[in-house]
Structure 1
Amino acid sequence: MNLVYKNEKTLFGIMLAVSLLIWALLVVGTVGMALLWGLLFFISYCFAQSALVSYLRGTAVQITAAQFPDLHQRIEACCQRLGLEQAPEAYLLQMGGVFNAFATRFLGRHFIVLYSDVVDALEERPDAINFYIGHEIGHIRQHHLRWSALLAPAAWLPLLGPAYARAREYTCDRHGFHACDDLKSAQVGLAALAAGGKRWRQLSVGQYTAQAQQSGGFWMSFHELVGDYPWLVKRMAVVRALAQGNEVTQPGRHGLAYLLALCVPRLGVGGAGSVLGVIALVGVLAAVAIPVYQDYLVKARMAQAINVGHEATAAVERYFYANGRGPATLEAAGYAMDDPNHAVQDISVDPGNGMVRVYPSDLNYRGKAIAFTPRVDENKRVVWQCAGGDIPARVLPPECHN
């Protein structure tokens, strides 16, 4: 049996290509500032993960050969069956009735955590606990945790990020299924997630699986498309089909749900690390967006200042044609500044050579001038040359880059 869900490798390739492109654009666009943000994110991530690992080691019960040897033996056996050479550090954690398990990684070391309620609920079917163990080993074996930082930019994209997250869950369910000795144990494990610690015994897997046929409607399609997990009824349908030696065909999703989901970025991941990831990603994007937006505003005001300069040069040019010389002042040329946006602090003309100087009102460039220098060509026509002087060319239009 192939332990990797059919779409995961394709989605991983797309995620990797998109993420590398975004990282490259961020590094180039921020002139390397994205690397600093990446370092800050890594430091924040280390603090968050160290808090989690410290909490586990200080609160949860470590599963060892001496402490809960039955669970330790199951973890070792699952690792061997799934081809994981080094068993992760494992803990049992009481979570107030929550049924789950998770894997995490800190400084190259892997951890898996089993919630005590799900272990207690499956005491009479301990092979079903292998499903949870195998599922988390799947995350480790497929390097989902190792690749998460590199894939972070694409992970927040609509449709793509959630699709890859759901594909990973299907892959890990296959690992959990393969870790069980009894082919029906994976169904028991999912039944406990669905019905709880007691009622799972009475759950009809067939009827529960039939609920998957309702998942093709608009709203169920939409909420699955923006979520990190497939509907549990669909996961049950998959492991039930695997137990029968088949591959299930899931109901199609509503087409319009894709359009709406395309407008929703992936924000459904949880935990402190994810919050820090959002903060770091927003910070990196801000490092690009804020300077770009500021440049946009400056460019717009510079364009307004240059338009004012064009009106002044036109007045000087008319005066030259009429009098054969430049004006002593702009007022003498009949020019009155029209600057409703207050883009210009001052404007003047040099009576000696006719040069018009425009002083932008932007605080960053106070005292610096855009110079319009006239010359007379072979046809006795006045030609103007614009230059920004000490003002950066990136905020000036191409005509003033000389």
Structure 2
Amino acid sequence: MDLIYKHEKKLFGWMLAISLLIWLGLIVGTVGVALVYLLLFFVAYCFAQSALISYLKGTAVKITWQQFPDLKERIDQSCQRLGLEHVPDAYLLQMGGVFNAFATRFLGTNFIVLYSDVVDALEAKPDAINFYIGHELGHIKRNHLRWAALLMPASIIPLLGAAYARAREYTCDRHGFHACDDLKSAQLGLAALAAGGKRWRQMNVAHYSAQAEESSGFWMSFHELVSDYPWLVKRMAVMRALAQGTEVRQPGRSKLAYVLALFIPRMGVGGAGALISVVAVAGVLAAVAIPAYQDYTAKARLAQAVAVGRAASAKVEGYFYANGSGPTTLEQAGFALNDPGHAIQEVRVDPGNGVVRVVLADATLRGKAIAFTPHLDENKKVAWHCGSEDIAPQLLPPGCRGD
């Protein structure tokens, strides 16, 4: 049995070629400046990865001949069966009911981490634990962790990056299958992933793998095409076929789903790919949303300031009609500032020309003013011109833009 999934090598070749071209373009195009950013990225990665490794060493239980010798024996035997010369450091971690395992690498040292709930769930079928161990060893055997940084530029390309990630999972499932003594043990391991720590014992794996026939529709096709992981029902179908000495023919995917997936960068599921994509999307949204929100709040405060200015100018106008001259202060005109939102720093009237100025207190507009200038219209009535020399016209409410 070939332990490498049929499409992995071809996809790896495409990923490598594209990534090398992108790296070369970045280095040449930036006259080497990209290398400085790569160094900074590597330093940041080391700090982040060191946090994970430190957490493992400080929290998880290291699997040794003194701690869980049964698991240590399985790990060593699996390494031997898969032709892995160096046995990675292994840890058992309690994750509050999460069923998974993972492999990682830090400064040249490989690690595998088994989740205690998986090990406990399969206590009655310990050979199925070999599937989990073998799957993670497959990542190390195939150097998936070592190549990850070099392949990073191509990994976000729609369809390609996710396809390669799924191919790696199929490859590692084959390694897990090969690590088992019983050909059916891999199916039991996947059953525990699907149904949980107890119910997997009652699960009909044949009926479960038959669910793969339902995965050809548009939505299931699309979400698999943008995911790092194949549907679990498909992985089960593959394991069942391998146990029977055959290869499964998976159902086709919706062609329309391929078209839509072309516009979706690789998102990943539950890993660094997802986190990076979420951060990137959040950054794009923030770049658009934050200025828009700032404009919105500025316009709201300006509208409030204009309302205050109109109220003050109305008092000045009333005083003028009553007394034949403008007031010396707004208090004299009977105006009292009502500003519960503290948007206004000061409202004052110029006794010489009757101009009312509203000075703003907002952090982005502090000290800037809106002026209400009185003049007589054709009917000899007082009219007010609202405008500002300090504030961009597009931020001011209609009717107060100096036009």
- Common fold, TM-score beyond 0.5? yes
Alignment of 1:159-178 (within 5 A): 159-178=159-178
Q: Which residue of 2 aligns with 1:217?
A: 217
Identify the residue that residue 131 of structure 2 maps to in structure 1.
Answer: 131
State the shift of 1:275 in Å.
Answer: 4.3
Inter-partner Cα distance in structure 2 for 1:108 and 1:53: 13
**Structure ranking higher on relative contact order (CA contacts 8 Å, 6+ apart):** 1
- Equivalence for 2:78: 78
Q: Which amino acid aligns with 1:169?
A: E
Task: Name the counterpart of 2:207.
Answer: 207
Cα deviation, 1:3-58, whole Å, max 9, x if unaligned, reads 00000000000000000011111111111111111111111110111000000000
2:244 is aligned to: 244
CA deviation string 1:268-321 (max 9, x = no partner): 2544687469879x99xxxxxxxxxxxxxxxxxxxxxxxxxxxxxxxxxxxxxx
Answer yes or no: is the 8 Å Cα contact 1:45–1:273 preserved in 2. no
Q: How far is 1:267 from its partner?
A: 2.2
SS of equivalent residue, structure 2 residue 223: helix
Matches within 5 A, 1:53-68: 53-68=53-68
* RMSD after superposition: 1.9
Residue of structure 1 equivalent to 2:22 = 22
Task: Map 1:1-400 onto structure 2 (within 5 A).
Answer: 1-268=1-268, 270-271=270-271, 275=275
CA contact (8 A) 1:48 1:273 kept: no
State TM-score, norm by structure 1: 0.68
Distance 1:216 1:271 in 2: 25
State the alpha-carbon separation in 2 of the partners of residues 51 and 237 from structure 1. Answer: 37
2:203 aligned partner, one-letter code: L
Question: Structure 2 vs 1, CA of residues 137 and 232 (structure 1 numbering), >3 Å: closer, same or farther?
Answer: same
Distance change in 2, residues 1:269/1:27 (3 Å):
farther
Secondary structure in structure 2 of the residue aligned to 1:25: helix
- AA at the equivalent of 2:74: R
Change (3 A) 1:3 1:250: same
Q: Does the CA contact (< 8 Å) of 1:122 and 1:128 recur in 2? A: yes
SS, match of residue 45 in structure 1: helix
Q: Closer, same or farther in 2 for the Cα pair 1:41/1:132, shift >3 Å?
A: same
Q: State the one-letter code of the partner of 2:129.
A: I
CA contact (8 A) 1:41 1:276 kept: no
Contact residue 215 and residue 251 of structure 2 kept, 8 A? yes
The aligned residue for residue 310 of structure 1 is: none
Change in Cα spacing, 1:272 to 1:18, as seen in structure 2 (3 Å) is closer
For structure 1, the 5+ residue unaligned runs are: 284-402
Q: Is the 8 A contact 1:118 1:197 kept in 2?
A: yes
Runs of 4+ with deviation above 2 angstroms: 269-280
**Structure 1 position 84, deviation (Å):** 0.2
Pair 215,271 (structure 1): closer, same or farther in 2 beyond 3 Å: closer
Q: Deviations 1:115-141 (Å, cap 9, x if unpaired)?
A: 000000000000000000000000000
* Secondary structure of the structure 2 residue equivalent to 1:44: helix
2: distance between equivalents of 1:20 and 1:12? 12
Q: Contact conserved, 1:224 with 1:230, CA < 8 A, in 2? A: yes
Deviations 1:326-345 (A, max 9, x none): xxxxxxxxxxxxxxxxxxxx
Superposed CA deviations along residues 69-123 of structure 1, whole A, max 9, x for unmatched, are 0000000000000000110000000000000000000000000000000000000
CA contact under 8 A between 1:101 and 1:132: conserved in structure 2? Answer: yes
Structure 2: runs of 5+ lacking an equivalent: 284-403
